[in-house]
Amino acid sequence: MERSDAMGSIEAMAERCRNWGRWGEDDVLGTLNYIDDAKRAAAAGLVRTGSVFSLAQAFDTNGPQNGWRRRTNPVHTMTDTGTDAEYGTQGFPHGFGGADDVIAMPLQCSTQWDGLGHIFDRGRAWNGRRAGQVVTSDGDRVTGIETAAAQVVGRGVLLDVGRVLAGELGLEHPELPDGFAITAEHLEATIEAQGATAAVGRGDILLVRTGQYARTRREGWGSYAGGPAPGLSFTTAPWLHGREVAAVATDTWGFEVRPNEFDDAFQPLHQIVIPNMGLFIGEMWALDELAAACAAEGRYEFLLSAPPLPVTGAVGSPLNPIALI
């Protein structure tokens, strides 16, 4: 990686980690192909206590969005209320009343998946297709998020990098500072510290906790959406590729470290892993309660169910990921 040569580094890394054609020229699932029925059945056997954890942040007007990149927070509106029912203005017979509501929001304003049509590399989408042939004004006509609606269920693995490295860095809280680049060596050190249940391999859904969301909850949203953040280093692309993970999610807005490691680049790791590797990325996941439970249990693997909403042609989707330990 050459800090002053973003384009050259991106080109070389794309060639090194590219999966185009690996699952055929018509493939729409990318690395989700690593999750097969046998892996899902094995993941179901990981449930020991039956404890359930929602890994979703809230979907409301209080955050985290600040308008950057034209993303806003959800707008929730009631179209029928209890007041309407009390006054008998709803038009129903025999005292029947009810409430109804509607929500308007960007599909990537809170806990979400980036679909394979979300990011392009030099005009190319996943599997080498022309970006303009994949995503048009009609949406993603090839790799729309609905294609993954029944795929993202399997073995989840939590790497609590924030907790493991905090001690080594002498930090007050188990949270990495903004701008901290998590390298493959940091991931390996976390696996070693957490033990055998943190091993990461083919078909796993990897969750990386930096601790930034915990700090945000304590100190306020600030620039959480779009600002500086700890995250994965550009240099972790070969590690993710070699481990053959099915998907990866973090507790930060952008998955990778921000500011990034080049003098002039924007989300360069996205540019490698989505259009070239075919990797699904999750962002703004709430991992703190799960991390505490995993630490208490001494076990970092679990059944994870994290399907996107099947919004036809969407390039991303909100979700409520569920972990069972």
> If you write DSSP's letter for every residue of 261-283 in order, what string do you get?
SSSS-SSHHHHHIIIII--EEEE
pLDDT of residue 129: 98
Q: Which residues pair with 17 in a beta bridge?
A: none
Residue in the block written with tokens 């070969």: 238
pLDDT of residue 4: 86
pLDDT of residue 167: 84
Contact 90, 97 (CB under 8 A): yes
Tell me the C-alpha distance between 90 and 86, whole Å: 9
pLDDT of residue 68: 75
pLDDT of residue 170: 87
The residue among 149, 133, 146, 140 whose CA lies nearest residue 117 is 140
Element (H, E) at 303: strand 301-305
pLDDT of residue 278: 98
- Residue ranges, comma separated, of all CATH 3.50.30.50 domains in the chain are 6-69+107-324
Buried b (16+ CB within 10 A) or exposed e, 192-229: ebbeebbebeebbbbbbbbbbbbbbeeeeeeebbbbbb
DSSP 117: T
What is the SS3 assignment for 6? helix
pLDDT in tens, the chain (325 residues): 788 899 999 999 999 999 999 999 999 999 999 999 999 999 999 999 999 999 999 999 998 998 777 899 999 999 999 999 999 999 999 999 999 999 999 999 999 999 999 999 999 999 999 999 999 999 999 999 999 999 999 999 999 999 999 988 888 899 999 999 999 999 999 999 999 999 999 999 999 999 999 999 999 999 999 999 999 999 999 999 999 999 999 999 999 999 999 999 999 999 999 999 999 999 999 999 999 999 999 999 999 999 999 999 999 999 999 999 9
Q: Which residues pair with 9 in a beta bridge?
A: none
Residue in the block written with tokens 């998946």: 113
The pair of three-digit structure tokens given for residue 211, joined into one six-digit string: 């601790």
- Peptide linkage before 308 cis (omega within 30 of 0): no
The residue among 10, 232, 16, 278 whose CA lies nearest residue 122 is 10
Contact 224, 237 (CB under 8 A): no
CATH level 3 topology of 6-69+107-324: Glucose Oxidase; domain 1 (3.50.30)
pLDDT of residue 169: 84
The pair of three-digit structure tokens given for residue 313, joined into one six-digit string: 């042609």
pTM: 0.96
Q: Is 68 left (phi over 0), alpha (psi -120 to 50) or beta?
A: beta
Provide the residue type at 268 as one letter: P
DSSP H helix total and E strand total for the chain: 10, 15
Backbone angles phi and psi of 318, in degrees to 5: -70, 160
pLDDT of residue 292: 98
Backbone angles phi and psi of 179, in degrees to 5: 85, 0
Buried b (16+ CB within 10 A) or exposed e, 26-61: ebbbbbbbbbeeebbeebeebeeeeeebebbbebee
Torsion of CA 59, 61, 66, 70, to 10 degrees: 70
Element (H, E) at 41: helix 37-44
Angstrom CA distances, 132 to 114, 122, 123, 322, stand at 18, 12, 8, 34
The residue among 308, 305, 309 whose CA lies nearest residue 322 is 305
